[in-house]
Chains A and B, each alone.
Chain A
Amino acid sequence: MAFNYDQYIRGGKLPHIWCPGCTYGIVFKSLLRAVDTMKIARDDVALVSGIGCASRLPGYVDFNTLHTTHGRALAFATGIKMAKPDKRVIVVSGDGDATAIGGNHFIHACRRNIDITLLVFNNYIYGMTGGQYSPTTPSGKIAATMPYGNIDPSFNIPELAKGAGASFVARGTAYHAAGLDKLIIEAMQHKGLSVVEIMNACPTTYGRRNKFKSPTDMLLWMKDTFIPVVAFDKLGPEKTAGKLPMGVLYKKEGLPEYCETYYGMVERLKKQKEGRA
């Protein structure tokens, strides 16, 4: 039986704002399938975003949804999670939102290892504002504000997350949608801050400027470029030049989760007080 997306989509809120050829719809559906597999009650989910094309996603979904300010979604989400630690908090963000203006919140959420699932939609560009280069735009690529080719070195989001202390780091793509479901599920099952970087295509503001003749070409590029991490590691550096690993790139179980640690301290204080009384 075909998956019933309607059970999660708010009536009357579609069509979405994304351009033809944009891959966000693919990821959107993957997220819904993942949540469904997890059997989480819709009332118990907060879906939080910042600003950008990806950040419009929460509005379409029948959860508790919060569309905040540019870069700050993780900080809002942190407040929600600390106030209601037994609830599920998911953040969707873009490459600019998460790693430029929101870079500080990104690294500190990773450091705290707070139990939030962060999905970073990486399309190498600021799409909503018309295609300015972002911290992940590859070297030499053309952007509205890099007309002669990008000279800015770029972030590797999974490495950044791992370095900052995230206990689960994965990478998927819009092309490998079935695998993406599994990555999002595993990220949600993980206790702690989990980061899933999801390669996406922006044909309108990135593809057109960078010799992708059609949205399909961008998906084919993902197909050719991203290799399952196990295979990637086996192939070695020479054969993987220009390729990127995908899958679960880093996972560490058993690290203290922030809310558990905090409320553990609260319990300890309570017991000490009772002991004295």
Chain B
Amino acid sequence: MGKIKLLQGNEACAEGAVYAGCTFFAGYPITPSTEVAEFMSKRLPQINGAFMQMEDEIGAMAAVIGASLAGSKALTATSGPGFSLKQENMGFAMLTEVPCVILNVMRGGPSTGVPTGPGQSDIMQCKWGTHGDHPVICLTPAYVQEIFTETVRAFNLSEKYRTPVILAFDEIVGHMRERIEIPDPGVLPVISRTKPTCPPSEYLPYDDTKGDVPPMANFFEGYRYHVTGLNHGPDGFPVNASPRIHTDEQRLMRKVEANRADIIKFEETLMDDAEVAIFAYGVSGRSAKTAVEAARKEGIKAGLFRPLTMWPFPDEQVSKIASRVKAIVVPELSLGQIILEVERCAKGRCKVEGIFRVDGDPINPAQILAKVKEVK
């Protein structure tokens, strides 16, 4: 039995990071994610870790990448406007394959929007925010306990696949307090990057001949290599020649695409005999679970598919659902973003109906139940 605590979602994220071995945090104050920084500013000095409040969001993302290259597991936390500012350096970490975790506590947007209200309208930005083709892993927990475990998983995936991982949850989940159990060390797996075992003279940091995730040397450990945001060859030095750029970018995408089974996680509630499925995540997923229970009491065969991994998108799972239900209902705190992915996978085999809301309030179970009745 681990430690029982009453924690806010944001605090659970910070605790999960520490459990996963995070020893570096850099951030910038922004609502509604600041509690993560506040928690880390207290916690990290206690464990010989480094906390930095940087001069801006861009600098915070940069410091996180620098710290990771120097061997630390590193986290930053932000929200809408800050997430926009971090995008360039996130792309740098994707191309240079530097593990790190970026939390986006989603609020209403665009621009300053509704800083204190929940949103789910950055979900496409999580996928496409930085320029160029790039691999993305994005996890979307909905409960405080889940935030803890998914943060640990975010670090694990980041280290395992040498790529940034985005955690995205909404303001309500970030600020909600729930009872959680923090497991004893060793209960949840903790993964660290694979280091090279070859002599430094033979080390190629971006070697694509022995698998899609080359071992990563930390700075100052004898493997002096070059890291650049330019497209690069196996040795890390810039190339601007075909076909290396093409094949290397394909490898970056393959790191995620070929490992969907390992990365994709979801929860299904009463989906076995469901005639109407609800696809929902975050706070909307919580409302949807209540709506499913209410529908079942009225004899309506409703079920819930709740993704914990949003990117890569659970194509196969949604496709199978679409082939056996009458309709999929997609409640989201946006004007219709993730529904586009559901429609893409459904390929017209069932109705796909959205419930969209961006007024700073969550979608309540009654709204979802009404939509389920309408489409059944």
Chain A positions near chain B (C-beta within 8 angstroms): 10, 13, 42-44, 46, 48, 58-59, 62-69, 72, 75-84, 87, 104-105, 107-108, 262, 265-266, 269-270, 273
Contacts and interface: CB of A to CB of B under 8 A. Distances in A.
A72 B89 contact: yes
A202 to B, nearest CB: 21
Contacts, number: 131
Contacts of B71: 83-84
A79 B70 contact: yes
Nearest to B59: A75
Given A78-B66, A79-B26, A64 B225 contact: yes
B45 A78 contact: no
Nearest to A55: B228
A68 to B, nearest CB: 6
A65 B52 contact: no
A48 to B, nearest CB: 8
A103 to B, nearest CB: 10
Contacts of B24: 79, 82-83
A87 B71 CA distance: 13
Nearest to B65: A76
Given A84-B70, A84-B219, A266-B48, A79 B225 contact: no
B228 A79 contact: no
B55 A59 contact: no
Given A64-B220, A79-B70, A83-B50, 18 more contacts: A43-B220, A59-B237, A64-B224, A66-B226, A66-B227, A68-B65, A68-B229, A69-B88, A69-B89, A78-B59, A79-B65, A79-B66, A82-B24, A83-B24, A83-B72, A107-B55, A262-B50, A270-B48
B291 interface: no
Contacts of B46: 269, 273
Contacts of A69: 62, 88-89, 92, 229
Given A72-B58, A75-B54, A62 B224 contact: yes
B69 A80 contact: yes
Contact of A75 (B23, B63, B220): B63
Given A43-B222, A67-B226, A269-B45, A105 B55 contact: yes
Contacts of A64: 69, 219-220, 224-225
A71 B139 CA distance: 30
* Main secondary structure on B side of the interface with A: mixed
B230 interface: yes
Q: Which 8 A-B pairs have the closest CB atoms?
A: A79-B66, A79-B63, A75-B62, A75-B59, A108-B55, A83-B70, A67-B228, A76-B66
Contacts of B48: 266, 270
Interface string B28-50: 00000000000000000110101
A237 to B, nearest CB: 35
A170 to B, nearest CB: 24
29 contacts: A42-B224, A44-B220, A58-B226, A59-B228, A64-B69, A64-B225, A65-B225, A66-B219, A66-B226, A67-B226, A67-B229, A68-B89, A69-B229, A72-B58, A75-B58, A75-B60, A76-B63, A77-B66, A79-B64, A79-B66, A79-B67, A79-B74, A80-B69, A83-B66, A87-B70, A262-B50, A265-B45, A269-B46, A270-B48
The interface size bin for chain B is 35 or more
Contacts of A79: 24, 26, 52, 62-70, 74
Contacts of A84: 70-71, 219-220
Contact of B220 (A46, A108, A269): A46
A63 B226 CA distance: 8
A83 to B, nearest CB: 4
B361 interface: no
B316 interface: no
Contacts of A77: 66
B273 interface: no
Contacts of A83: 23-24, 50, 66-67, 70-72, 74
B21 interface: no
A107 B54 CA distance: 12
Contact of A72 (B59, B68, B69, B237): B59
A65 B226 contact: yes
Q: Report which residue of B66, B74, B88, B226 has the largest number of chain A beta carbons within 10 angstroms of its beta carbon.
A: B66
Given A84-B71, A262-B50, A65 B227 contact: yes
Contacts of B229: 67-69
Contact of A105 (B50, B59, B69, B224): B59
A46 B68 CA distance: 13
B336 interface: no
B62 A76 contact: yes
Contacts of B312: none
Contacts of A104: 55-56, 59
A81 B221 CA distance: 15
Nearest to B71: A83
A87 B220 CA distance: 8
Contacts of A13: 237
Nearest to A72: B62
A63 B224 contact: yes
A262 B45 CA distance: 8
B175 to A, nearest CB: 28
B238 interface: yes
A54 B165 CA distance: 31
A87 B221 CA distance: 11
Contact of B54 (A43, A58, A78): A78
Nearest to B48: A266
